Structure 1
């Protein structure tokens, strides 16, 4: 330990220099290792990417025609699987009015339980 300075001030200076040197060495190691890692292709800007078709948002309520021969209208929640692909979105007010006019409520999702609440 005879090669180090004896006073605290010079020891602190040496410590600072060693820390800075170690940081530079680590930065150089990282720079050398970077090319060895597989490169990812840069993503094209959003304007260059093809647009994805947007999904139609799920309606809160819907009306569909069910039955064989003589279709009967039925009110569904928007996420009800029994509504099928013929589900036409309607507002809550329209669904309430249809239920009040005698349109049948779906037996699976039971929209009448929610729509008829005060």
Structure 2
């Protein structure tokens, strides 16, 4: 038995409309995703390079908690940090500022070899 076009055509038109609307939403989602990816890549390119050495400050900025190697994940978890030069890191370690136990900047800088740091 054949079903008449009067019954099938409206159903197919409804399906066609729904699929067209769904396709528009999918295309919009793809466009948004591509735009976000371009923005993320621009942000990564514009980001300044990570510092070589980082000073972790306490709740009171006058209190210094530790010296970190720049790529150490520990100070990233805290907002209170300040970039330092190599010489500032050596000076801080020689003034008894604790070295990060994870990456050991005192060893990397050779401060222990010079006998400047007594941790």
Q: Given the two structures, how large is their TM-score scaled by the length of structure 2?
A: 0.48
Between Structure 1 and Structure 2, the one with more helix by share is 2
Q: Given the two structures, how large is their TM-score scaled by the length of structure 1?
A: 0.48
Say which one has the larger Rg.
1
